[in-house]
C-alpha cells in the first residue's frame, strides 16, 4: 500500500463521532451488523463488539433480558491497527492489499456509526429506553428484598419483568402512560402487563401502597420527573425513589437534576454500565 494513499483515505474517512441518528430499518440494522462481522472477521476488537450487539438482540428477541454491554466504541487508533495488519500480509503497492485497505477504511466509520446507533435500535425495536440487563435486575431485586414496588414510565416493562423473573411473589405495579405507543408499534408488545397510567396518576393510585418507586429514563426536557419527585416527597409512607437517568444529560429536566438529592448505590450500579456516549446511572433520590 502506498503511504500517500493511506493518508488520503484517512482524511476522506476520519474516525469521528457521527451525530446520534436512528437506524432507518430495524431488520436492516441487524443485517448490516452481520455483514460487518464478516467484513471485519480478521479484526478481533471489532468482531467482539459486533457479537455483543448480536447476542443482546438474540436474547431480547427470545423474550430474555440481555447481559451487560461493554462500551460499544472502537479504539481511536483502530484504522492504524487495520493498516498494520494488512501491511503484515501484503507488501507496499500490492493491489490486493490496497483494495482491502480502501474497503475497510470506507467501512470503518460506518461500523462505528452502527455501533453507536444500538440504543436507538433497542428503542425502536423493543421499546427499551434504558438498557436493562438480567444481572442488573437481579441486583435490583436483591436490593429491594421483595418490598411492594411501583414502576413509573415502564415502557414495555423490562425492569419489572426482571424483578418478576427473580421473585415471582413480589408485589409490582407496572405503569406507563403509553403515549409513545401512538408512534411506536413496539409499545403494543410489552414483556409484562403494563397498566396505562401516567406517572402522577400512578403515584396517586399506588404511592401509599409501596415501599419503593422506580422511574427510568424520564423524557428529556420535560418536567414530569420534577413533578414526580415533589409528589413522592409528599407521600406519608416515604417510599424510596430509584431513578435511572443521565444527570444533566439525555434524560429528565433541569429542575429535577437541580433539586434532587442524589446518592449512588454501588450494588445497583455494579452491573449497570454505560455502553455509548450517554452516561446514565442508577440513583437513590430524595
Mean pLDDT of 95-121: 94
- pLDDT number for residue 150: 98
- pLDDT number for residue 13: 35
Residue-wise pLDDT tens digits, 186-202: 656 799 999 999 999 99
- pLDDT number for residue 183: 61
Residue-wise pLDDT tens digits, 20-63: 333 334 679 999 999 999 999 999 999 999 999 999 999 999 99
Domain formed by 129-285, architecture: 3-Layer(aba) Sandwich (3.40)
pTM of the model: 0.86
Judge contact between 149 and 237, C-beta under 8 A: no
Strand partners, 282: 244
Alpha-helical regions (H) of 62-208 = 78-89, 95-116, 118-126, 134-144, 158-166, 199-206
- pLDDT surpassing 70 at residue 181: no
- pLDDT number for residue 2: 42
- pLDDT number for residue 61: 93
- pLDDT number for residue 127: 87
Kindly report, as residue ranges, where domains of CATH 3.40.50.150 are found in the chain.
129-285
Query: Residues 251-281, buried b or exposed e (16+ Cβ, 10 A)?
Result: bbbeebbeebeeeeeeebeebbbebbebebb
- pLDDT surpassing 80 at residue 76: yes
More confident residue, 96 or 13: 96
Geometric angle at alpha carbon 168, from 144 and 176, rounded to 5°:
70
Mean pLDDT of 162-182: 91
- pLDDT number for residue 255: 97
Cα separation values, 21 from 12, 49, 110, 278, Å:
21, 19, 12, 14
Q: Which three cell numbers stand for residue 75?
A: 479504539
Q: Chain centroid to CA 151: how far?
A: 18
Confidence of residue 240 (pLDDT cuts 50, 70, 90): very high
- pLDDT surpassing 50 at residue 284: yes
Query: In whole angstroms, what is the distance from residue 195 CA to residue 6 CA?
Result: 57
Amino acid at each position: 500500500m502506498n503511504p500517500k494513499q493511506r493518508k488520503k483515505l484517512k482524511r476522506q474517512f476520519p474516525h469521528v463521532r457521527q451525530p446520534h441518528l436512528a437506524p432507518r430499518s430495524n431488520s436492516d440494522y441487524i443485517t448490516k451488523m452481520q455483514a460487518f462481522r464478516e467484513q471485519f472477521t480478521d479484526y478481533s476488537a471489532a468482531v467482539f463488539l459486533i457479537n455483543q450487539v448480536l447476542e443482546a438482540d438474540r436474547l431480547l428477541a427470545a423474550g430474555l433480558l440481555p447481559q451487560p454491554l461493554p462500551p460499544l466504541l472502537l479504539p481511536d487508533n483502530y484504522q492504524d491497527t487495520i493498516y498494520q495488519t494488512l501491511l503484515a500480509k501484503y507488501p507496499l503497492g500490492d493491489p490486493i492489499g490496497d483494495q482491502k485497505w480502501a474497503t475497510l477504511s470506507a467501512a470503518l466509520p460506518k461500523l462505528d456509526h452502527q455501533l453507536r446507533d444500538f440504543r436507538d435500535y433497542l428503542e425502536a425495536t423493543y421499546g427499551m429506553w434504558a438498557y436493562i440487563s438480567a444481572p442488573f435486575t437481579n441486583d435490583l431485586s436483591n436490593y429491594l428484598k421483595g418490598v411492594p414496588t411501583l414502576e413509573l414510565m415502564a415502557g414495555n416493562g423490562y425492569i419489572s419483568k426482571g424483578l418478576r423473573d427473580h421473585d415471582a411473589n413480589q408485589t409490582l405495579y407496572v405503569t406507563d402512560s403509553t403515549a409513545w405507543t401512538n408512534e411506536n408499534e413496539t409499545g403494543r408488545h410489552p414483556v409484562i402487563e403494563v397498566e396505562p397510567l401516567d406517572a402522577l396518576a400512578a403515584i396517586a393510585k399506588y404511592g401509599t401502597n409501596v415501599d419503593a418507586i422506580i422511574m427510568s429514563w424520564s423524557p428529556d426536557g420535560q418536567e414530569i420527573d420534577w413533578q414526580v419527585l415533589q409528589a413522592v416527597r409528599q407521600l406519608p409512607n416515604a417510599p424510596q425513589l430509584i431513578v435511572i437517568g443521565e444527570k444533566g444529560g439525555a434524560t429528565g429536566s433541569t429542575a429535577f437534576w437541580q433539586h434532587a438529592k442524589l446518592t449512588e448505590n454501588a450494588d445497583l450500579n455494579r452491573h449497570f454500565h454505560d455502553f455509548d456516549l450517554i452516561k446514565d446511572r442508577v440513583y437513590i433520590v430524595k
